[in-house]
Amino acid sequence: MKTIYLDNNATTQMAPQVIEIMQESYALYGNASSMHSLGRESMVAIEAARSSVARMIGADGAEIIFTSGGSESDNTVLMLARDMIDEGSKRHRIVTSTIEHPAIIETCQYLEKKGYHIDYVNVDASGRIDSDSFAQLMGDDVLLVSIMAGNNETGTIQDIQKLTQIAHAAGALMHTDAVQAIGKMETDVRQWGVDYLSLSGHKFYGPKGVGALYVRKGAPFKAFVKGGHQEDGNRAGTYNTAAIVGMGRAADLVFETSVQERQNLWYLREKLRTGLQAAIPNVVVNGHPTLCLPGTLNVSFAGAEGESILLMLDFEGIAVSTGSACATGSLEPSYVLLAGGLDVELAHGSIRFSLGRYNTESDIDYVLEKMPTIIRRLREISTR
Amino acid sequence: MNTNSPVWVYTDTVKEHFMNPQNVWEDDNYEPDGEGLVGSMACGDQMKVGIKVKEDKIIDLKWQTYGCASAIASTSVMSVMVIGMTLEEAYTLTPVMITEKLGGLPKHKFHCSVLGDKALRAAIDNYLENQGRDNPYRKLVAKIICECKNVTDQQIEDLVKTKKATTLEELREITEYGTVCGKCQFRVQRLFDEYKHIYNV
């Protein structure tokens, strides 16, 4: 059976070019911190990857710290803020949003339990942060702001440049979780003006278990993972050479192709959206209609439950994800969808299609062929 | 380390009943002798069961379910098991019997099978009520939860369902559960939450 992978926000398939360079890199067994030539050979490859990642987001190589991924990058920034507060910073408040990835939101809740002051700005029905309500949360006691660039579930994107200006005007540091944004929207740290930015290799056709944190030159920083002199003492741990090299190659591909790729993704996404709306009654599109990551389409089907839809699609070879409670392992459906005020029942019936580089128009045709029958059948079985 | 892995380990029987559900209530004109509705769409699962009864035997059952694959498969396999049973047999059916018939459900999915037998009991209750008859089966399935004060799961269920106890405090005031040895507190709390979910109160 053919597989149609429409879960690219969960993770992406590695690009063949990435696999190729990683296979070569596995031979670079020298510890990149060693002084001998084997070690230096690994370090040369790592430094090339650093330049590629930096170029992709408009940064300098010296501003890139390699990490194990987005979650570590996010934790690093929040724990930095905690340390600054512990060390007597006059600013002691952290501001974030209600729709952040768990790496931010649950870490903030953890800090809150320990007595730190966190404020959460809410979003409107389209998933956007209103800059006025955001500005109201600012003040001279705010140390750090962390707002994601593009949401993993709805795809809604934020005006990071504007929010950064507001945060900076209040004297706060600005972090953005750009894990979903990379390759899907213009991501330029200088234009945005952010102090910190998290990214993760496997979301842009690179390997899993590797990511990076951008730290603006001059921004405060302290190691989160301690115990080694790697990354100028900013992140301990033996270099994962092959993964870093793979992410570097993936970054080059984003730099070279992402503008055209985004147009294609939006075309396919809109074809899917209009096709579903034309063929199926009672479809609700979640998130912002235009300010959206180009490959993400989050829709709710009244009267059909998300996990059932997901499994029916899976039996047809189509991979998607859902915000239903059954999939989250609790009785509560997606907090991101509920934050925007979506009806609970519709949140249970939500499906996220996330398209990627390797999807084609015929993939979308196939989904449009299968989907109406699935929804009709589930609605026939349903209590409503 | 990963004790909460959301791996789908559905059996072939679950898949079969999910993909080809049996005895679905598709006919709007179906007129059952008794009908039960439990759960809510807002909670992510809701089931409706209708039964036809002859000489205290269930001769037909139709159902509708809004919910995940486990919930759909559970109701479907329940319908197959129940048709031909006496009312007493049907009333004493448990979620464990349903999941065993399915060849098991993933641990975190067991919850999805508990609505099936509840909807069935609600339908039998409704049938007996329509007939103006007493319900002789209820006491058969009652379990004592608080041994000190002799409080059963059914008492708790009734109090939740009729909204006489909307909080644990109210429940304690009425039943005095947990006021002696206190061992049952956790179980009562779990049941209370479960019934609130099932009856959407």
Kindly state whether B64 is in contact with chain A, defined as any CB-CB distance less than 8 angstroms: yes
User: A182 near A254, Cβ under 8 Å?
Assistant: yes
Catalytic residue among B68, B112, B146, B148: B112
Are residues A382 and B37, on separate chains, in Cβ contact within 8 Å? no
Q: Which pLDDT value is given to residue A2?
A: 84
Domain contains B135: no
Catalytic residue among B43, B68, B181, B184: B43
Are residues A327 and B41, on separate chains, in Cβ contact within 8 Å? no
Tell me, yes or no, whether B191 and B158 share the same domain: yes
Domain A16-254: give its CATH code.
3.40.640.10
Tell me, yes or no, whether B187 and B107 share the same domain: no
User: A60 near A82, Cβ under 8 Å?
Assistant: no
- CA A65 to chain B, closest CA, distance in angstroms equals 28
- At B97, list the tokens: 């019997």
CA-closest candidate to residue A300, choices A330, A322, A332, A272: A322
Q: For chains A and B, count residue pairs whose Cβ atoms are closer than 8 Å.
A: 70
The CATH number linked to B38 is 3.90.1010.10
Tell me, yes or no, whether B20 and B112 share the same domain: yes
E-assigned strand segments in A267-381: 283-286, 296-301, 318-319, 321-322, 350-354
ipTM of the complex: 0.85
Q: Bin A273: left if φ > 0, else alpha if -120 < ψ < 50, else beta.
A: alpha
Tell me, yes or no, whether B54 and B146 share the same domain: no
Are residues A324 and B44, on separate chains, in Cβ contact within 8 Å? yes
Q: In one letter, which amino acid is A264?
A: N
Q: If residue B63 lies in a helix (H) or strand (E), which one and from where to where?
A: strand B57-66
- Cα nearest neighbour of B22 on chain A: A381
Backbone angles phi, psi at A350, to 5 degrees: -95, 145
Tell me, yes or no, whether B152 and B116 share the same domain: no
- Cα nearest neighbour of A322 on chain B: B68
Tell me, yes or no, whether B60 and B157 share the same domain: no
Collect all residues of chain A within an 8 Å Cβ-Cβ radius of residue B112.
Answer: 326
Q: What does DSSP say about strands A64-67 and A117-121: parallel, antiparallel, or unpaired?
A: unpaired
- Domain termination site, one of B99, B130, B161: B130
- Domain termination site, one of B80, B96, B130: B130
The CA distance from A343 to A286, in Å, is 11
- CA A306 to chain B, closest CA, distance in angstroms equals 7
How many CB atoms sit inside 10 A of residue A186's CB? 11
pTM of the model: 0.90
Kindly state whether B19 is in contact with chain A, defined as any CB-CB distance less than 8 angstroms: yes
Tell me, yes or no, whether B95 and B165 share the same domain: no
Catalytic residue among A135, A225, A326, A378: A326
Domain A4-12+258-381: give its CATH code.
3.90.1150.10
- Cα nearest neighbour of A301 on chain B: B66
- The minimal CB distance from B66 to the residues A305, A327, A331 is found for A305
Kindly state whether B4 is in contact with chain A, defined as any CB-CB distance less than 8 angstroms: yes
- Cα nearest neighbour of A326 on chain B: B68
Number of structural domains in chain B: 2
Tell me, yes or no, whether B84 and B183 share the same domain: no
Tell me, yes or no, whether B125 and B154 share the same domain: no
User: A15 near A328, Cβ under 8 Å?
Assistant: no
Domain holding B84, by residue range, is 12-130
Sign for the pseudo-dihedral over CA of A314, A316, A319, A322: negative
Domain contains B7: no
- Domain termination site, one of B93, B110, B130: B130
Kindly state whether B44 is in contact with chain A, defined as any CB-CB distance less than 8 angstroms: yes
- The minimal CB distance from B66 to the residues A312, A325, A383 is found for A383
User: A144 near A215, Cβ under 8 Å?
Assistant: no
Domain contains B17: yes
Can you give the residue ranges of every domain in chain A?
Answer: 4-12+258-381, 16-254
- Active-site residue, B112 included: yes
User: B93 near B123, Cβ under 8 Å?
Assistant: no
- Active-site residue, B43 included: yes
Per-residue pLDDT in tens (0 to 9) along chain A, 384 residues: 789 999 999 999 999 999 999 999 999 999 999 999 999 999 999 999 999 999 999 999 999 999 999 999 999 999 999 999 999 999 999 999 999 999 999 999 999 999 999 999 999 999 999 999 999 999 999 999 999 999 999 999 999 999 999 999 999 999 999 999 999 999 999 999 999 999 999 999 999 999 999 999 999 999 999 999 999 999 999 999 999 999 999 999 999 998 999 999 999 999 999 999 999 999 999 999 999 999 999 999 999 999 999 999 999 999 999 988 766 566 688 999 999 999 999 999 999 999 999 999 999 999 999 999 999 999 999 997
Residues 347-376 of A with CB under 8 A from B: 348
The label of the residue with tokens 């679905």 reads B24
Measure Cα distances from A275 to A164, A280, A371, B170 in Å: 37, 8, 10, 52
pLDDT in tens, A320-341: 999 887 665 666 889 999 999 9
How many CB atoms sit inside 10 A of residue A27's CB? 10
Domain contains B35: yes
